[in-house]
Amino acid sequence: MHNSVEALLDMDPFSLELMVDPLPFYKALRDHDPRRYYPEYDTFFFSRFEDVWNVLRVGDNAFVATETNLPTPQYLRTHRNQGAPSFASINPMAPGPSLHSPYYEQMRQAHIAPLRPRAVANLQAFIADFVANRLKELLAGGKFDAVGDYAGVTAASTVCHLFGIPLAHATAILDYVYQITRLDPAQGGVDLGSFFVKLKQFILPPIETRRAQGADGSNALIDGLIQYRAEDGRALGDNEIADQLVCVMIGGLESVAKVTGQGLMELWKHPDQLAAIRADLATNVPIAVNEIVRFCAPAQYTFRTAHKDVEIAGCRIRAGQRVACLLHSASRDEREFERPEDFVWDRKIPRVISFGLGQHHCIGKHLALLEVQILLTEFLLRVDRFEFVMAEAERNPSCFQRGWTKLPVRVAELA
């Protein structure tokens, strides 16, 4: 290997310096050490699409996010498992992402109803109406942030609608989520423990309201968890329910905003592709969204802890060791995609990895796709010429959620 490649591979995979631009590091991993083991973290880093795909499909509680799917580097350095760790608590019920089967699936099924395809389709009118009104307001000013002002507020308002939270709180929730998901220099990542505690201040009031109103199923996101009963007949408390809903709230905010903002920017950078999409928005926007998600999805990785000795992709992984599936790297793998660093709006994408896979595939996938489609379509219907003010754009380094946090767009001509 060249010295430059060796230097890249020897870097701390969580370092701030590397996370400013992790793509060269990911390529070095894919080409030279695709299942690299980092002793400091007792973790195998899988960077190729096929390997990530296969690891995430392993079932039977072999790989579980017991130590969360986003453990901080500090935690990984200071916790070395001697064999499989204990499964997460089911009494009280631990946060959903850390649960093992069958409890993970039970919690997921208890609140997934409003996020299924048919239920999501029923949200189209609400989202389209909100986007139209929001865009009318923003276009009057001529310049706005495509990430926060446009897509972020839309996503936050949709989340509020699902939870039964007044829409007036949407901006405050969005701002708060951005604050607590920024890179923590002391921890080296996002401290999920304090993250859950802080975000529950927005989730507990609607749970209390639904419980007081009888939880008759009219708000299936919350009512299903209130109605859930454990094997011994025990009902979940409000804090346990809130722990199951944190991921719906955060997952429904940051990713949609970053994907939409950068997606519009990529179309601006490729006017020939933009023109092709404009030729038939109804047909072409859903096609383009698939490439936008592949190219712009901000999630870098997801972790699992082995609860059994496993051999996969040529690696022998002992119970207690961790695996890191590098989603962002997998989406850039030349073995899966031709010219993966190029944005190609109508690229054929037979397998999608950006939403995860297996047990933990994104619960809000269908809602996210609908929101991005509506946000792009409404913008392109109303705006003929636009440009991004890149001198004012912001992109904070982050171990987990990469992507632009601010993308100011100036409208030159309305349609």
Residue length, the chain? Answer: 415
Mean pLDDT of the chain: 93
Q: Collapse the DSSP code of 286 into the 3-class scheme (helix H, G, I; strand E, B; otherwise coil) and give the result.
A: helix
Q: What integer pLDDT is reported at residue 368 of this predicted model?
A: 96
**Whole-Å CA distances, 366 to 100, 115, 121, 362:** 24, 7, 9, 9
User: Please, where are the H alpha helices in 219-364?
Assistant: 220-227, 238-251, 254-269, 271-278, 281-296, 327-330
Band (401; pLDDT cuts 50, 70, 90): confident
By percentage, how much of the chain surpasses pLDDT 90? 81
By percentage, how much of the chain surpasses pLDDT 70? 94
The mean per-residue pLDDT over the stretch 89-96 comes to 96
Q: Which residues contact 343 (CB under 8 A, 6 or more apart)?
A: 266, 269, 270, 273, 291, 295
Q: Return the bridge partners of 103, or none.
A: none
Contact by Cβ (8 Å): 259, 292: yes
- Report the first-to-last Cα separation within the chain, whole angstroms: 53
Q: Which of 293, 412, 291 is nearest to 347 (CA)?
A: 291
Lowest mean pLDDT: which of 14-18, 34-38, 193-197, 240-244?
A: 193-197
Query: Domain extents for the chain?
Result: 3-414
Q: Is the pLDDT of residue 103 over 60?
A: yes
Q: Is the pLDDT of residue 91 over 70?
A: yes
CATH class of the region 3-414: mainly alpha
DSSP 8-state symbol, 139: H
Helix, strand, coil percentages for the chain (3-state, nearest 5): 55, 10, 35
Band (15; pLDDT cuts 50, 70, 90): confident
3-state secondary structure 16-67: HHHHCCCHHHHHHHHHHCCEEEEHHHCEEEECCHHHHHHHHHCCCCCEECCC
**Which is more confidently placed, 337 or 415?**
337
Q: What integer pLDDT is reported at residue 96 of this predicted model?
A: 93
Q: Collapse the DSSP code of 90 into the 3-class scheme (helix H, G, I; strand E, B; otherwise coil) and give the result.
A: strand
